[in-house]
Structures are given as structure tokens and as C-alpha cells.
Amino acid sequence: VIIVSDPRADSQAVKEASSVGVPVVALCSTDNDFSGVDLVIPTNNKGRRALAVIYWLLARQILRERGELPQDKDPPLTIEDFEAKISKEEEEG
């Protein structure tokens, strides 16, 4: 399984995975093309915070399904731990 944040930006990975039969899961916004995608997770896939929330939720559920995290607990990592950190230089650049 391959998970992509944006099928447009990751189009080469989607194309290659599809051609060899690897299932593709994609975080998709309303403007995305779903060609080659096996499972769409509808979400805002442009914002850092939105992506952090989605990846945190996915990680939490995977840990729960694997029995590594009780159903009523959250993982020790926070949503902020999943958010890309941007330096001042990157913000100003």
C-alpha cells in the first residue's frame, strides 16, 4: 500500500504503483483527479495543519487496529508532532 498526500503532486508514484498493482490510498481535495487511486480519503490536502490531523488520525487508528493502543486512548505524539516545521528563513523566502 502507498499513501499519498496529493495525487497531483505525487502523480509519478501513483502511476508506478498502479502499474504494478500496489494499492494507492490518496488524501484528496475537491480539485484532485482520482485516476489510479484505489481509496480516496476526502480532506483538505493543502494545509500543514490539515495534513497533520489526518496523518495523526491514521496513525492512531493503525495503532488501535494492531492492538498497540487501547481504543479509548490517544498516542503519546501530538498532532503538532505530525506538522511540518517551517523555519523563519523558509517563511520569509
pLDDT digits 0-9 by tens, 15-67: 999 999 999 999 999 999 999 999 999 999 999 999 999 999 999 999 999 99
Query: In terms of residue numbers, what domain contains 32?
Result: 2-42
| Residue 92 lies inside a defined structural domain of this protein | no
pLDDT of residue 93: 61
Cell 498516542, located at residue: 75
8 and 26 both lie in a single domain: yes
* CA distance between the termini of the chain: 35
Whole-angstrom distance, CA of residue 15 vs CA of residue 67: 33
Q: What is the pLDDT of residue 17?
A: 98
Assess if residue 62 is contained within a domain. yes
C-beta neighbour count of 14 within 10 angstroms? 24
User: For residue 79, which amino acid is it?
Assistant: I
28 touches 45 (CB < 8 A): yes
93 inside domain: no
pTM, 2 dp: 0.82
- Extract the C-alpha cell encoding 15: 502511476
